[in-house]
Structure 1
């Protein structure tokens, strides 16, 4: 039975017995790499990169994959072996310095996309994971000078490469890849700087993919520090808010990324400071508009869900005094909340969040109570009480009505 190339140690060329991985992402058999390091060689045998960290980590995924292959024995489908070798060859081309041309790398990415477009077996998914495509693509996209100007590559071609590579990264993340690989973005200032520049100057597709990466980073404990770094990078937060209000395809991804960033309390102050409250108000107005604008046409089927997500963000940001002050001082802030209390354009969760948000600001600001009453909130609250809303929503509505009625006859201050 022919041993797939990727199952052989690059040093001994024998089948892995105890596969371990270096900080470069390359995997070797433990005995072989320990002998190599033991002679004082502090470089990776395959990539020839200097090892800033000589520690080795067991590659359990590859071990499992080899075990699965051995269990299948001679009946092992030859197509699986071909898949392994094909993916290994594609990875080799991507990381090769000798073939480091844009054309070669673009061709490789197109072939990877072909793999993604087909039906995936668990074996194929394991191959993508254990071959280390995610760390490699992250390195290619975010390292300084990924496609060097010295290669005489036009900006459009460079961006095309980044678009496709980021699309592959997002697909790999959806395969359930270990998110810890994303931490290379925070561990290297130049990579974080590249991330921000791409968010600022990239295409809509690039910005959309970067939003997906932010959302993924916020979903795992292993990348919580990266989520914090994202949330406290001023320029990045500013750019995300700009995408939110640009009325484009990436706006939906931006609102989801902002909600994900709000999972950390420490990020919320930064979001408020960079205009997230104003952005949310503008965004809600856009997707609630019936004028037939671009975002209404493209995302119409998701309008209620997106409005609910935006209101969820608003509630989280209103926990901060700076968030409450910003919303109350915004000319359309309170009015926007009132419109969402009872509307055919939002669902029950959205109404619940609108009532909660109004309760927060009306409890602290007399001016907010006056604005809400002037915008007709009492009628909307009574209609909401008569609807089939949840018990918790009705309870919040009663409390807000009680608060507003107690101030009904107060002389404005």
Structure 2
């Protein structure tokens, strides 16, 4: 379906999602013109007139026309050129929306509608823009986080797939509906009792919530919800599903990026969970993020205490000091975590030396690693110097430092 010229933003050339008008009379999509102004431009992109007033006025008339065009336009769910208007088309966007909204719609009709939405959002940029413009994203969230029905895992999974497909392209403030206790309880139930794909998808959604500025308050709520953290920790320890464990590691890392969440994360066993995850998944792409989250938690006294009480912590971190990969951040966080633990405990220093940390640090210093990793490696070597006997190896160690 071709978009009429007047319905395209002059900057992005995409369908308007939130048309706003400048003092020059030119209309742009809000995200595009806000980025233009944020980059320091003080002119109208089309007329190049200097802007003495950068007020953005919503263009309600144009938005209404676009909505009417979408509802009266051709069927976007078909690859072939349609011959019927949307009002007559059984698979039209309005029909899809009706089937998803209607409490009386049959389960089979909802499944068919969700499948069409998923295909449209994946295969067509225009279709994705239309779905967002017509309010499908909050509708899908309502469908997903209504009180879970037993035996509806297929419907829930398909709804979640659609949410995840649309979420990178839409305003995530709709997710703030999860502040509602009923919807939050539904998310927890799905995270706890859903199939592995649902659990993995919800972890990705939690990661998106933590990353967006408009859902920071919601992220704090997630970080203070005991059951959310407990389920994520259990997924970290799950040896049967590596994908769900990796998604949980990314979600926990994102949640712990907010300082307000770290104390509660430690209380709910996240430190032990991350160590258990790293002991089994050190080669996973998310290992660096898990290490970064662990280092942040060790910055708190309670986190440091939890790691010292974990019998595997030092050994796991030592093995990750020199990672034979292109990932330098993992080594940084492993050395940083060991430095925190070794500073206050002779027992931990001895344990690290017995686990082979000196060789690992020397290898790291000879490798192509970041300046931060080298600085912390040298600091840790100096801290451990007293544990090294004065033999030939000791002289080599002294020279390296």
Q: TM-score range with shorter-chain normalisation?
A: 0.7 to 0.9
Match of 1:260 in 2: 254
1:258-297 correspondence to structure 2 within 5 Å: 258-288=252-282
Identify which of 90, 94, 98 aligns with 2:96. 90
Find the counterpart in structure 2 of residue 320 from structure 1. Answer: 300
Are 1:66 and 2:65 matched, yes or no?
Answer: yes
Contact 1:83 1:124 in 2 (8 A): no
> Could you tell me whether the CA contact under 8 Å between 1:334 and 1:371 is conserved in 2?
yes
Tell me the equivalent position of 2:396: none
Match of 1:135 among 138, 149, 159: 138
Counterpart CA distance in 1 for 2:187 and 2:361 is 44
Are the aligned partners of 2:138 and 2:174 in contact in 1 as well (CA < 8 Å)? Answer: yes
2:214 aligned residue = 222
Q: Map Cα deviations across residues 183-236 of structure 1 (whole Å, 9 max, x no partner).
A: 0111x2111111111111111111111111111111122111110111110011
2:341 to 361, 384, 392: 361
Measured in 2, the distance between the counterparts of 1:306 and 1:379 equals 25
RMSD (CA atoms): 3.0
1:337 is displaced (CA, Å) by 0.7
Q: Does 1:179 align with 2:182?
A: no
2:209 touches 2:216 (CA, 8 Å); kept in 1? yes
Q: Determine if contact 1:311/1:353 at 8 Å carries over to the other structure.
A: yes
Show CA shifts across 1:123-169 (max 9, x none): 3222111111111111112123x54xxxxxxx33x111111111111
Q: Distance in 2 between matches of 1:406 and 1:346?
A: 32
SS of 2:281's equivalent in the other structure is helix
Asked whether the 8 Å contact 2:118–2:165 carries over to 1, the reply is no
Q: Given the superposition, is the C-alpha separation of residues 98 and 128 from structure 1 closer, same or farther in structure 2, using an over 3 Å criterion?
A: same
Gaps of 5+ in 2: 8-17, 20-56, 390-401
Q: Is the 8 A contact 1:163 1:206 kept in 2?
A: yes
Q: Contact (CA 8 Å) 2:141, 2:163: kept in 1 or not?
A: yes
Matched residue count: 323
Residues 91 and 133 in structure 1, CA contact (< 8 A), matched pair in contact too: yes
- Does structure 2 conserve the Cα–Cα contact (< 8 Å) formed by 1:212 and 1:257? yes
Within the candidate set 156, 160, 163, 1:166 is matched to 160
- Alignment partner, residue 183 of structure 2: 191
Q: Which residue of 2 aligns with 1:241?
A: 233
Q: Deviations over 1:318-377 (max 9, x none)?
A: 111111111111111011111111132673211111111111111122221121112111
Gaps (5+ residues) in structure 1?
8-17, 20-57, 148-154, 289-302
CA contact (8 A) 2:210 2:254 kept: yes
CA distance in 1, matches of 2:116, 2:320: 47
Change over 3 Å in CA distance of 1:83–1:217 after alignment to 2: farther
Q: 1:268-326 CA distances to partner (integer Å, 9 max, x unpaired)?
A: 112111211111111111124xxxxxxxxxxxxxx353221221111111111111111
Equivalent residue for 2:312?
Answer: 332
Contact 1:170 1:213 in 2 (8 A): yes
Equivalent residues of 2:342, 2:348 under 8 A apart: yes
Given the alignment of the two structures, is residue 397 of structure 1 paired with residue 377 of structure 2, yes or no? yes
After superposition, the Cα gap between the structure-2 partners of 1:92 and 1:213, relative to the gap in structure 1 and judged at 3 Å, is same
TM-score by length of 2: 0.74
Contact 1:61 1:130 in 2 (8 A): no
| Shift in Å, 1:61 | 9.1
Question: Which of 105, 112, 120 is equivalent to 1:107?
Answer: 112
Matching residue of 1:116: 121
CA offsets, 1:348-407, max 9 Å, x none?
211111111111111122221121112111121111111222222211111111111145
Preserved CA contact (<8 Å) 1:272 1:323: yes
**Alignment partner, residue 290 of structure 2:** 310
1:207 matched residue in structure 2: 199
Instruction: Report the Cα distance in structure 2 between the residues aligned to 1:169 and 1:382, rounded to whole angstroms.
Output: 47
